[in-house]
Amino acid sequence: MLANLKISDFLEQTAAGTPVPGGGSVAALNAALAASLTEMVANLTVGKKGYEAAETEMQAIARAAARLRAQLIQDIDQDAAAYNEVMAAFRLPQETEAEKGRRSRAIQEGMQKAASVPLKVARAALQVMGLASAVISKGNKNAVTDGAVAVINARSAALAALYNVKINLISVKDNAFVDKAGQEVRRIESEVKNQEKEILASVKI
């Protein structure tokens, strides 16, 4: 599993001349890093003098960030698996009309999955941004820049994931699926850009 590799080994595999792991897996990893930083700032706030009023909220944020981190770790491998599924579909036989039909359906199913996984990553990254915003405004001020880095990473992860959604939607023939996913892509894209500006403007250092 990619998620179980050492950092150096993951980077080595990414740099190799193979398509997996690619941008989708890297986006998921980046979002997981953002969740980790958010969780860290929340944990650095809990139990600290002067932050008693925020303790319950910080505990809840730490738990939410941990859940997102766990999901995003899985998404590192799910993105790679979705790509491999598409490639396997393209290798299916197409000698007869029946085989061509099965191959076409498999390709379409794979493409939809290949678009759905990074869309899920982008949703999670947007959630991380919201949590990071809270730790920046109410959390331990000594770790405010860690919260800012979380926001920047989450924003980058979301936009990177959305690029993967867009390129896979090009090959999807289900217009209803494409329209629905496209609307969500545009919404998340707008939200992450606006939120990053707003949140980082609040960071005073």
**Selection from 172, 157, 63 nearest residue 119 by Cα:** 157
User: Would you say 154 and 31 are in contact if contact means Cβ atoms under 8 Å apart?
Assistant: yes
pLDDT of residue 117: 98
User: Would you say 38 and 150 are in contact if contact means Cβ atoms under 8 Å apart?
Assistant: yes
pLDDT of residue 52: 96
How many CA within 13 A on the CB side of residue 17?
0
User: Would you say 134 and 88 are in contact if contact means Cβ atoms under 8 Å apart?
Assistant: no
Q: Residue 166 pLDDT > 90, yes or no?
A: yes
pLDDT of residue 2: 95
Tell me which of 3.10.110.10, 3.30.70.20, 1.20.120.680, 2.30.30.40 is the CATH number of domain 21-201. Answer: 1.20.120.680
Give the mean pLDDT of 171-188: 98
Q: What is the mean pLDDT of the chain?
A: 97
Residue 192: both structure tokens together? 């992450």
In single-letter form, the type of residue at position 183 comes to Q
Q: Residue 20 pLDDT > 90, yes or no?
A: yes
Tens of pLDDT, residues 94-125: 999 999 999 999 999 999 999 999 999 999 99
Residues 8 and 26: their CA atoms lie apart, in Å, by: 14
Q: Residue 204 pLDDT > 90, yes or no?
A: no
Residue 18: both structure tokens together? 């193979």
Distance from chain centroid for Cα 96: 40
Of the ranges 16-20, 36-40, 89-93, which one carries the lowest mean pLDDT score?
16-20
Domain boundaries, the chain: 21-201
